[in-house]
Structure formats: structure tokens, C-alpha cells
Structure 1
Amino acid sequence: MSFIQRLGLMLCAFVCMETLALGVEQFDLSFDEIKQLDVEALQTKPMVEVYGQVVRFHSRDRGVFLFNGERGIYVQPKKMWPRKMQLGSWIRVRGIAVEGIYYPIVRAEDVSVERVDAPLFEAAEFDPNSFYDPNIDSQWVKTSGLIIDYDAFPDRDHIMLEMEVFGYQASVQIPYSQQNLMNASALMFQSVRFQGVACVQVNNRRQMTGRIFYISSMEDLKIIQSEARMKLRVLTVDHFLNENVEINNYVAVDGVIAHVDEKNLYLQDGVHHLHVRIKERADFRVGDRVRVSGYAWSQPISRGLRAIEVVKLDVDQAVKPIEVPFSDLRDPQYNHALARVDAWVVDIGKSFGGGDSVVQSSLLCRSGEDVFECKAPASVVDSQAVKIGMQLQLTGLVRLEEAKDVPWRFSINRMWIELRGLDDIVVLEEATWLTTQRLIYIFVVLVGVLAVAMFFVVTLRKTVRRQTELIGSQIKHKSIMSERQRIARELHDNLDQGLAGIALQLSSSIKLFERDAHAGLKGMRRIQEMLVYCSEESRNAILELRGGWLEKMDVTAAIRQYASVLEEQHPIAIIVSVEGVTSRFKRYAERQVFSIAKEAMTNACKHAKARHIDVRLVFTPVSLSVLVDDDGIGFSDSPLNRSGHFGLLGMEERANRIHGELSVQLKETGGVRIELSLPLVEGQEVNHE
């Protein structure tokens, strides 16, 4: 077998393997036959071959629409189209029929360009009766319509025009570019004629919902100069609204601007009002008198006007809102009218309104028995100028909405007022604090609190009962132990140390008696003073066990009470004064302060032979000072070396226990000043109990 024969066998085997891998058999089908393939047939991946002229490139997935002179079909590329292929090229495509959005499409496997540059087929006239015919899909047609809106989608690489075609609203898609975008704006509200690919718009259930046309360029749109436009009729707003004006009649209407936004003018002519759709916002202001030329725009409630041209005639004209009973505003003649009403604010919220779905403030208002919504720019609520419960005078545009659930007769579903800005609001009466909303809120909160309280009472009652005895016994045990520790500390710090000191002093005095009786007698006097001090400390401890003065009163009152006792026992006058606000602090610190003051007053009475004692307590937020001044004989030597002053050592020890400072000074005029200073914060933190 020659090399050529072997090569031919290998090619045949390769083709057979490719065919077997696809699992289908190659066959020719017409465009209509491909579109009629069902899901079961498409699952077998049937190989098809189509031949036609490229009439449109799709802007998103780079597919093409082919037209064979009678029918059209959509083809997706597998990779890239041949470089020489262009609009008008005749191509032969071999590929697989797959499921499309509505009808099956062809996914190209192999593409051959048979004619590169050929004139496009003459498109067939689009039949108005076939607008909702689903069989008209991917068809090369020509038709005309009125451009009413447009939107750009740069991320999807196309511009979408909204157009009225034979009274129906259709979409027209063109490739995205800045030039096409400017041309779309310039063609707003123009009647145009074009040729393009007519396709079916569907929902997610693959049901037809509308019609879309694909064109290659804005140059495919040709402006139609109608005869009506050459014969311009100038009408008043009243005549335009009430006369029989066809939608293809080119007319002019004069009026005063009551409101203007990006795409709309609202004209006023006496008691009549007109909504005008404009291409883009120009240099117009409220009060300008203008002449608007364009086409009638059929609307469910009142006719509108699509403006081709707007000319300013005059400026600063009066714009007077209508003032009629609120219930009359539901009359269709007041749709888009500038009205003024008095109303109470019931609620404040937000809503989405306008063609651009911008966030707006939404005021729920009440006028008499009627409740209505009032929409305003979001800045109205942000300014906090409006509050629930206010009575306002509102000036805005009346908006009426048709009831669509009753198709056999016309009726108004609802009415709302659209404010132009914050200046349209005049406060007639300020809101009272106790509004209905606040009453409801307070009631709900009280009910909630009551419910929570009841829940906790019910759920915790058994737990409290179980824990009461345990907690009571623990508290009792802890109190007993704490009191025992305090008594033990008091006995150790005062009585025990005093008795130990007496024992040492007695031992020293015995030795002194052996050498010098006079010196031993002096030691015995010191022992006597120490015994008196221990006796006093014992009486204080017993008094505390019985419920001391500090259990019933603060330290200031206790010092006054003790001063009264001393005045009854001694011929002395004691004055107790307080500076600042008396405050309680830790019980342990209070006992030490009281003991120091009591010891100072007792020493002045018994040893200093004083006639007057001045006790002054100075309270500040962070400290306490106690000053005890007497007019006694004072000290002739160091107080720590003088007999009869053993208590001063105890006072200094008590001051140290509560982080205080004790000073003893001789006054030039005679007498002694004892001063105790301690920080209340530290005093409060000391807790030896």
C-alpha cells in the first residue's frame, strides 16, 4: 500500500472518529426546521449546516445574525470569526444546534467565508399585526417609530433605546460608543425609520413579553420629517388636553413652568397643567414662560407632551398653586397640578420614586379624614425640619395613579403630592411631644417591660426560695466570723499589747525599786496610766459589742455625743464644728478617727486642765482633717517622755492603721493642737473587718 493510500485511510478514520465522538449523524436542516427542534432532539447535539448573510453582529457575546433571504437565525462562535468576515459577508457555518433563549441557535464549529463584501438584503416591511407574533424572531425587517427614552450600558457594550412602534413600546439595541450616546440624546422624541433584526423578548419562563430590534449603528436611524411638523399648530394647555390631538400631530403649547427636573417640565396655564417630557435639562427656571413644540404623549390619566424644542418667551411669571378641597384633588383634571393643602404629619419614612429610583423622603399626612403620601427630596428629612405631629402647609405637584385591577372602567387608585423642595413646606403648628406614635411606643415598651418582669418573677421565684435559706445561713456565718475577727484584732491591738507593756514596765520598776525607790515609784505611776488606758479600751470594746455609737450615727455626731458626756463630767466647754459635707466611710476607719478624737479630748480634760476645747472636722471630697485645740497647760518637755501621755502613742498607732498622719504641736498662747489628716479614698479602701 502506497503512502498516499495510507494517508487517505487515516483521514477517513479521523473523520469517522469525530462523527462517533459527537454521537450524531450529520444532516441539513432549514432555518425553520432548526428552530422547531425540541429539547430531546437538541440533547443529541445534531450537526447542522447553515448558509446566509451576516446582517448584524451582537454586541455582547460577539454572535451574528444570519439571513438567507427569507428567514434568519442566530449563530454563536466557538472561538473567533475569520478575520475577513464583516457585515454583509456570506458565510457557511457547520456546527451544533443548541438551546437558545427562546429558539434553538447554532454554535459554530467551522466557518467559511464565501463572499466578503456584498450589499445587504433589502429588509422586509415589519407587519404591525405581527408585533406579538413569536414566530417572527431573528428576522431582517424595516420599520419606523418614535424614540421616547434611552439608557446606556457600557459594561454590556450597548445602548438601549425605548421606542413607540405602531402604538406598542419596543426596545432597540445599538452598540455602545460615545458618539452613539450623543446621537441618541439628539434623536429623543424624533420619528425615525430603520432596518434591523426583529427578535422576541422573553421572561424567565420563556414566555414572550415584548419586541426588541437589533441595529448596527445610529446611522441606520433616519429621521422622518412629517408633514404635520411643517404645519405647526400653537395650542393652549386647555385645548391640548381636551381637543382630539393625534400622537403623530406636531403641536406647540405655551405655559409657565411650575417645576423642572432633569427630564420633565410641568407647565401651568391658569387652572390647567401639563406634563412635558424633555430631552435633557436646559437653562429653565420656575416662572419662565415657554413654548414647547413636540408630539402628544398618551398617558392613562391625562395627556402629556414629548418636547422636540423648548423656547423661552418670558421670565418671572407668577406661579399660583390651586387651592381646592383636598377630596377634589383626585379629579383627573388636577393630575400634575401645583396644589397647596394643609395637613398633619402622621409618619416619616423613605421611599423610592422617580425614573431613576432615587431615594426620597416620604411623609404620611392627614388632611381632614383623608390620609395621603407626600414625597420630597431626602434632604427634607435629613434637615429635621419636619417632625411627626406638625401641622404643615404643603405646596407640590399632584400625582394620580390609575386603578389597574378594574380594566373595564377608569378609576383613580391613589393620590400623592410630590414636593419640589424644602421651600414647599411651611410650618403652621409645631408638634406636641406626646404624639400618637410616642404613645404607642410607650405603651409597647411598658407592656414589654411588664411581660419581662412577669417572666422573671415566675421563673426566678422558685430559685429565690431555694437560695434564700442557703444565702441567709452563709451571711449569718460570715457575719459571726467577721465580728469574731474584729474583736480578736481589737483585743490584740489594744488590750493585749497594753497588758504586755504593763508586764515589761512592772519588771523594770521592780528592778528600779531595788536601786532607787523614787525611780521605782515613777515607774509605778506609768503602770497606773497604762492600766487606766487598758481599762478604757476594754470599756470601748464592750460598748462596741453592745452596739456602739457608730452603729447609730456618723463620726461627727459621735464626737458631739462624747463631748456632751465630757462636759457633764468636767467643768469644760467643748465646741464641735464641721466644714464641708459630712460623709460616711469605712466603719473601721470611722472607729479609729473617733477613738483618736475621744482620746485627745479626754487627755485635755484630765491632764491638761483645759477650760475650752475646740474640735473642728474638715471634710473634702478626697480627705478628712480633725483638729483638737485646747487652752490647757501644754507640755514642758516631749509629750512622749512625759507621764500621763501614754494615750498619745495609741493615737499615733491608730492613725498609722488607716494611713493617716498625726501631729502634736504646742501653741504659743498655751495649750496643745492635735491634728489628724487622712485621705478618704485610702481610708475607705482600708478594710480590716
Structure 2
Amino acid sequence: MPSRLQFVVIALLALAALAHAEDGKTLTTIAAVQALMPEEAAQHHPVQVRGIITFYNPLYSLGFIQDETGGIYFKPPPMGAADVPMLAAGDRVEMTGVTRRGLFSPSISLHPDDAPRTGGPIVMDIVKLGTGPLPAAPLVSVDRINTGDFHDQFVRVRATIRQVVEHTDYRVEQLNVDASSRYGPLNVILMCPKNQQPAVKQWENVEAEISGVVSGEVNERNQLRKATLLVATVAQIKPDLAAMQACFDQPSRGFGELLQYRPPQPGGTETRQHVSGIVTLVHPSRGGYYLGSQDGGLWVRTPQQPPVKTGDELDVIGFIAGGADGVWLEDGIHRTKRKAVPFAPLVRTTEKISAGTDFGSLVQVEGQLIDQFDRPSHRLLYLGAEGHTFYARLAESADTTPLSTFENGSWLRLTGVCEKPNDPAARESFSLLLRENADIALISRPPWFTVQRLRWLLGGLLALTAIISAWVLLLRRQVTRQTQVIAHQLEQKTLSDERRRIARELHDTLEQQLAGVNIHLDTVAECAPDLPAPVSRALDNARAMLAHSRTEAHRSILELRSRAIEQAGLVGAVRESIDALQVITPRITLEIEGEEQRQSQHIEFQLLRIVQESITNALKHAEAASITVRFQFTPEELHVTITDDGTGFDATRPPAVHSTQFGLLGMRERAAKIRATLTIHSTPGNGCTIAVTVPTRPTSHHLRTP
């Protein structure tokens, strides 16, 4: 690592470079260029530096140079340009160019497109001065590389080569190397001739020291998102087979000894630790596997290929790591000792597992199935026993045959790796990762009379009770309705019988007596023709009143015997009266506007008598040729209008005909009884219009006997 003095020197050089840039002077150190802000670097200040080429690939416009103050990226001249020397890592050069903004950090450009547009011309050139060793590289960890602190710098890292793949571009001989470390993965690009590539592939799963230039990709906000180590030659990779073998030669440590106190050892936790065990479960998406031994279980994280299988007995070396989830190994390297080795699970109760000492171990436990949930990739079982609950599911490496269906309430015996719940606040004490369907064994089925079936039974009884209650309620309503019909029928029959009785009484008494009075008055008129004028007028008035009374009595008897209003309503009763008169005078028209609204029988009876009286007067006294009866139904009022084209009269002076006077007087009295307004419009020779307006008081239709 650079010393504190070196950092101070670099800082002073950067300040001096910034002052030079502001004065328009040529920058002569890489630190001076790197000290520029991106906006200042974009001004294309002149640069002239000397240094060592650490990586060069003109095909991809990649070039890196480093002097005593640091390293930086430079954009090479176009391929095929004249006077451009053939360069390689280790060449000492003098470079003349301009500053450039860069994607992540300031850089140097030798490309003509980046020439400054103002000021004097700058001759961009690169001159090879000789060849020398690569600069000394500080040893840094992979996590420091990913921070951007060493961007464009030549560094060393220790990592495990995991996979070596030949680059697909035929124009360049290059390998893509996936490496790993205790601090995470690392991507390496190695310039490698074809004849050396097989040797590099032999280094897979070998720890090595790798020297190269830190580069990387940025996102749309110019933030570093993926660091890459650019390696110019195979010589920059130094596999440490001896150190790795020394780790395997260490005595195997028990899982329970990891992160336990012991006297200081050489290397400490910076050295890989050696453990042995049998693979109990493989989890590809989490990048590792569980090892089992007599000490319990241990999680090993590794990208090593090809993957192991359940039952493999392994020797493993890796870096100890620990946290809230326990202890595990990072960046594990394994060697297979035997395959398909049987391993017996630890038989435990839920109470014992909940104590937390068996996390990571292969255990066998019994529980009652409470519920189950289908997920896109697996089925999740929820179980409980001894007051504890837990989840169980098949791991990704398990077989893909459909899981057997179990009824809720079944008792199951499960074998799997015990894990700590992801959520510390979860109700579940632990979870189980199962290896295959055979890890679930049915102990006993639930009794037929389960809680769920009891719920269904209670629900059915409640539904049946609700149906019976609804049926009883409907039956009561039907009985009530039928009782009302019967009561109404009895009421109507009683009313009809009473009306016929009254009609008989009126016919046998009042009408006969009125007929007798009329005979006596006629006898008086015949026997005394020479009565004084006042007496004669009084006698005529009495005879007229008697005739009107007989007519009204006869009409009342007919109405009592008729059920027209009751059965057909007001309009039907009027139509029946008109039809009876049409036989002798087919000049009466009935018009209806709106929807008929039934009124009380009292109102309808009075309106019927007014209409009948109006028609009688028009036919008998006005000699009308046509009569129109119009009903207008509105939500607020009922309008009845009787219009004729008879002789008419002066409405302000009623006619002298006695029966007409009595008829008009009777109509007014009937209108007053029902709180209606009656108006008469008539002039001599222009007919007559009688209008009745009564407020609407709709009543429900009474049930009637057929």
C-alpha cells in the first residue's frame, strides 16, 4: 500500500497540476490529470507524461499508463495510424496528448477527434523509450477494488480462479476468468495466447495472486457498477498451489470449533480453514451446500464447478465468516474423497430444535400438518408440535416429481436441514429444507371428524336453519296474505248482501211511498184545476221535487245493487253507464289521459253521480247532439270534465227548469263532500262544460273476489 508520505506527495502534485491547468501550462504527471474535476478535464488541457504501459489493446481502444504518481487510462491513436509504435505492457513511453473527461474519471487522449478547438495546435504523439519491469503493485482486497479507490491503478489481489472461458471474439486471444474471494466475486480479462490457454484452465479452483489494472463499467449516472481486472500476460498470474495444499494438510477442525477461542495461530482467520464432512443438501441459487458431521452442520458458500451432490464426502478449505445466522465458510475449495456416503439425520423434537443448537444440521422431526400453500416452484408445508410451529419445503436441488398430497391434520415425519427463520419476529421456531419427496413420511391420517369438517357441518346446519327460518317466514306471510284475502272476501260478501238488503228496503218502502205521494199530487191537480196561482206554483214545485227525488232514489237503488265501481273502478263504472245509454243515444265519447289512480270508494261514487247527472241534464234539457267525458289523471289531482254542445244557459243565472236546478245543486253538494272544486262554464247557444278537480289520494287496490 502507498505510504502516508506518498499520499502527501501526490496531493501536492495534484494542487500544483490544478494551478498549471488554470495557467494553461502542460500537465506533466498523472496525478495532475487525475486531480482535475470532470468539467475541467473536458477542456482538453495539454499533457506530457512519462511512464510504464500497464495494459494495451488498441482493438478495444484500451490503454493504461502509470508513473510514480499513479495510473490512468489513455485513448490510443486510431489503429493503422502512421508513426504509432507497437506497444505492450512493460514499455516505457513518453506521451503527448490532451485531458479528457472520461466515463468515470479523467483520462488522456491521443486521438485527433479530441484535439482542442481553441489555442495553439497540440501534436499528439507517443514515443517508446524502452522496456522495463511493471511497476510495483500494492496488494488490495476485492472489496476495495469495487469502491473505485483504485480505478485505473496497477494492483495485486489474492483470489481463487473458478472458471476459465475463451473469449468469443476471434480477433483477439483472450480469456474471461471468473474468480472469487472471501470478499466476493471478481471478473478478470486475461490477454493469453492460444498455446498458453490450456495451462491456465488447469488453475481452476486454485488460489492465485493476480496483478492487473483496475477498470470497470459505469451506469447511466457515471457510477461504477462492475469492476474488472485487466491482465496483460499470463506471467501476471501466480498460482499458489503450495499454500493451498498447506491448507488441506492442516488438521480438520470440528464445526463447533470455528470462531471459538484458541491461542493465536499463524495467519489467523486470514488463512483458509480445513473441515471435513458429508454433503447433506445442495442449494444452487444461494451458491453453496450444507456439510454434515458428528458436530452438526455447516454452510459452505462456493462457486466451484462442477457442483457437488448429496452424499459426497468432502475435504473443504475456506475462510471463516460469521454473523447473526451463525458460522459458515466463504469461498470454499473442496476435494471429493468418496461419493454416495450414507448420513443419518439427528432425531430431534421441535422443543430441542427451537433451542437453536441444530441450525444447519440434518435432522428428523415429527409434526402435525396445519396448512399447505402452493408456490410457483414448490409447496410450502406449515406444521406444528409441542407448542412450536415451523415451515418445510423442498430445496431447489430436490427431485421435480409432484409432492404427495396430505390432508391437513396428518402427522408427518420429515427429514431435512434445519435453518433459522429469516425474520427474527416470526412466529415459526425454525424451517426445514427437504432434499427429496422421500423425506416426508406419513405417520397417521387425521381423524374423520376434524375441525375443518366440524366447521363445514356447523356451516351446513346454520345454512339449513336459515333456509327453514326463511321458509317459515314466507309461510307466515302467505298465511297472513291469504287470511286478508278471506277476510276481504267475507267483508265484500257481507257488504254486498247489506247493500242488496238496503236496496230492497228502499224499493219496498221509500220508492213505493214516493209513488203514492205522486199519485195524490196528480189527483189534486186533476180535481182542482182552478187553484189560485200561488197554490198552483207550489203544487208544481212539489211535483217537480218529487219527480227528482224518485229519480235519485231509483238511481241509488241501482247503484246499491251494482258493483261496477267496486270491480271496474270509476272509469269502468262511467264506461258501463255510457254503454247503457249508447243504445238510445250513440253520441257520448269517453277520453282518458294518464294512468288511472284508484281513489276511495266514497270519492269515486260521488264523481260517478256527478258525471251521470251531467249526462242526464245534457240529454234531457240541453238537447245535446254530442257529449264528451274526459278524465285527466296527474300525480297531484284528478280532473273530470263533461262537455256538451247543447243549448247552454247563463251560468250566472241557473235555468228555471226545476229538475235542472236540483241537479246542479246536487252536483255542488257532492263536490263539497269530497273537497273537490266544481266549475260550470256555459252561455246560451254554446253548450256547457262542467269541470271537477279533486286532489289525488291514491289508495292501494283492494283484493276483490272474482
Q: Larger radius of gyration, structure 1 or 2?
A: 2
TM-score, structure 2 normalization = 0.45
